[in-house]
Amino acid sequence: MPPPQIHSKARVESVLADLGLSLPTPAKPVAAYIPTRRAGDLIYVSGQIPVVEGKLLAEGLVPTQVTEEEAQQCARRCILNALAAVLAEIKSDEGIAMIVRIGCFVACTPDFTMHPKIANGASELLVQILGDEGRHARAAVGCPSLPLNAPVEIEMIAQVAKIDPTA
């Protein structure tokens, strides 16, 4: 098995460009918390909601006010926001070694049970961007509401490492 890749900010941005995407500006907290907390080589990312230029992509409960497909797109945006937070936290000689875990929260009606399908929007995008290093442990949970009436919120733990300049 080949050694894991360390994904620099430039590498992540290049892959995103190939996918027709880009890293957003890291979102500012909407309450009394910090966007990331570093503990050694782990970066814990606070819950990210699907904000684009200060506005939610969608609002409300899945599936009555937000379709499953819209919620998957929201999950993808949450991951882009989370990656932007990680890459803003790391030093210039570091990169993402792996995504350890994500937690995906879906604001939904009590009878909705397809939380994993919504979380797949985030999980599949991480693998597209980071390859095997994007595979992660995960929880997908339904809840009655989320901040600002967001349909999806994602928290993430990423491991970072020094980039080998000879690689």
pLDDT of residue 167: 63
Taking alpha carbons only, the member of 150, 147, 142, 43 closest to residue 101 is: 43
Residue 161 backbone phi and psi in degrees, to 5: -150, 160
Residue 104 has, within 13 A of its CA and on its CB side, a CA count of: 29
pLDDT of residue 29: 83
Q: How many domains does one find in the chain?
A: 1
Domain CATH for 126: 3.30.1330.40
pLDDT of residue 105: 98
Tokens matching residue 157: 């733990």
Residue ranges making up the domain that contains 135: 9-100+114-162
Give rounded-to-5 percent helix, strand, coil for the chain.
Answer: 35, 30, 35
pLDDT of residue 30: 78
Q: Amino acid identity of 152? A: V
Three-class secondary structure of residue 144 per DSSP = coil
Residue 50 lies in a domain: yes
pLDDT of residue 153: 98
Residue 58 lies in a domain: yes
Low-confidence stretches of the chain (pLDDT < 50) are none
Residue 49 lies in a domain: yes
Residue for token pair 């009878």: 111
Taking alpha carbons only, the member of 108, 36, 116, 41 closest to residue 72 is: 116
Tokens matching residue 148: 């600002």
pLDDT digits (tens, 9 = 90+) for 144-161: 999 999 999 999 999 999
CA distance 137 to 121: 15
Residue 23 lies in a domain: yes
Residue 4 lies in a domain: no
Residue 27 has, within 13 A of its CA and on its CB side, a CA count of: 25
Residue 3 lies in a domain: no
